[in-house]
Amino acid sequence: MFPSVRMRRLRRLNLVRETRLSVEDLILPLFVDETLEGKGEQGRKSIGAMPSQFRFSTDAVVEEVASALELGIKSFLLFGIPRRKDAVGSEAFNPKGIVQRAVERIKGEFGGDAIVITDLCLCEYTTHGHCGLVDEETGEILNDETLEILGKIAVSQAESGADIVAPSGMMDGMVAAIRKALDDAGFKNTAIMSYAAKFHSSLYAPFREAAESAPKMGDRSTYQMHFANAREALREVELDIKEGADIVMVKPALFYLDIIAKVRERFDVPLAAYNVSGEYSMICAASERGFLEKEKVMIEALTAIKRAGADLIITYFAKDVAKILK
């Protein structure tokens, strides 16, 4: 009790710190755009709703990975924007598809120095923009029919050299289906990072511009979770672990720190959190207007995600943070 206990005694020394951000914890998302292929210097195109973020050609993405590796970032999450979309998302499992080519290039160039994670979903590849197959008559998302395609995508991504596949479509049974498809094809060491508790959030809006993945009709509320639910998130995580997820993810991060903390407390698997596009763009926009200081808010936000219990943070700020930590 006061006056023998004085909390400010140590605070004055700034010696005891419980949480530290480190560059190894950061995963940088990257968008590869097939329409930028062969454009040389024009192989990078800025994303309007996400300041300082770009879509890349495969040539340009290799350069981007090189510059991130230089800063100490070692993991990358790849999203593909194909030239052609169709109802079943065939380009997602094309062995010469945009993501497959990008993975081959990056792994060919950097080998084990770059950990390549591939987002595994249909939404960027389908004309309707949903994360699963759609029944044309009823508009219903066909869960079980989607699983087979997810398995095919996983195998083609693993064949191209992906270290980790990251299913993001919130289909029931997706992790088990992908694990089985990978094992059957001999990819026992390809890991799965599951978007286990992915909420139906308004914070994905800038990403949908970046990845051209907005649903053309309806929304994702029949497969992504309602933001009001926490216990349901724990069930989702538990199921994905049982199905064989090596890493589970909570997404978004900042409005969902309670979920991160609960998952951390209850489960012992590695936990990732996705600091999504809306979280990124809010901070950028407010600091462009002079309301907030970008660097400070960014470090506070990411440290909070780590403090809540995340081992890994997927963030568009990865390079900015790495520069500060250096």
Residue nearest to ligand PBG (CB): 207
Please identify, using beta-carbon distances, which residue of 55 and 220 lies nearer to Zn ion: 220
Q: Please, what is the minimum distance in Å from the beta carbon of residue 192 to ligand PBG? A: 15
Please identify, using beta-carbon distances, which residue of 59 and 271 lies nearer to ligand PBG: 271
- CA 152 to chain centroid: 20
Contacted entry of Zn ion, ligand PBG, none for residue 208, CB cut-off 5 to 8 Å set by kind = ligand PBG
Please identify, using beta-carbon distances, which residue of 39 and 142 lies nearer to ligand PBG: 142
Buried b (16+ CB within 10 A) or exposed e, 254-292: bebbebbebbbeebebebbbbbbbbbbbbbbeebeeeeb
Contacted entry of Zn ion, ligand PBG, none for residue 119, CB cut-off 5 to 8 Å set by kind = ligand PBG
Q: Please, what is the minimum distance in Å from the beta carbon of residue 216 to ligand PBG? A: 13
Contacted entry of Zn ion, ligand PBG, none for residue 204, CB cut-off 5 to 8 Å set by kind = ligand PBG
Residues within the interface to ligand PBG (CB under 6 A): 119, 121, 123, 131, 168-169, 204, 207-208, 213, 220, 276-277
Residue 294 among the catalytic residues: no
Contacted entry of Zn ion, ligand PBG, none for residue 157, CB cut-off 5 to 8 Å set by kind = none
Please identify, using beta-carbon distances, which residue of 102 and 123 lies nearer to Zn ion: 123
Q: Please, what is the minimum distance in Å from the beta carbon of residue 266 to ligand PBG? A: 24
Please tell me which residue in 251, 262, 306, 319 is annotated as part of the active site: 251
Please identify, using beta-carbon distances, which residue of 170 and 308 lies nearer to ligand PBG: 170
Contacted entry of ligand PBG, Zn ion, none for residue 276, CB cut-off 5 to 8 Å set by kind = ligand PBG
x/- letters, 107..136, toward Zn ion (CB under 5 A): --------------x-x-------x-----
Q: Please, what is the minimum distance in Å from the beta carbon of residue 124 to ligand PBG? A: 7
Residue in 222, 166, 220, 226 with CA at minimum distance from that of residue 196? 166
Q: Rule CB under 5 A: is residue 169 a binding residue for Zn ion? A: yes
3-state SS of the chain is CCCCCCCHHHHCCCCCCCCCCCHHHEEEEEEEEHHHCCCHHHCEEECCCCCCCEEECHHHHHHHHHHHHHCCCCEEEEEEECCCCECCCHHHHCCCCHHHHHHHHHHHHHHHHCEEEEEECCCCCECCCCCCEECCCCCCEEHHHHHHHHHHHHHHHHHHCCCEEEECCCCCCHHHHHHHHHHHCCCCCCEEEEEEEEECCHHHHHHHHHHCCCCCCCCCCCCCECCCCCHHHHHHHHHHHHHCCCEEEEECCHHHHHHHHHHHHHCCCCEEEEECHHHHHHHHHHHHCCCCCHHHHHHHHHHHHHHHCCCEEEECCHHHHHHHHC
Residue 198 among the catalytic residues: yes
Q: Please, what is the minimum distance in Å from the beta carbon of residue 215 to ligand PBG? A: 8
- Written as one letter, the residue type at 82 is P
Q: Rule CB under 5 A: is residue 80 a binding residue for Zn ion? A: no
Contacted entry of Zn ion, ligand PBG, none for residue 207, CB cut-off 5 to 8 Å set by kind = ligand PBG
The number of residues that bind Zn ion (CB under 5 A) is 4
Please tell me which residue in 74, 107, 198, 262 is annotated as part of the active site: 198
Sign of the dihedral through C-alpha 310, 311, 314, 316 = positive
Please identify, using beta-carbon distances, which residue of 92 and 271 lies nearer to ligand PBG: 92
Return the active site residues: 198, 251
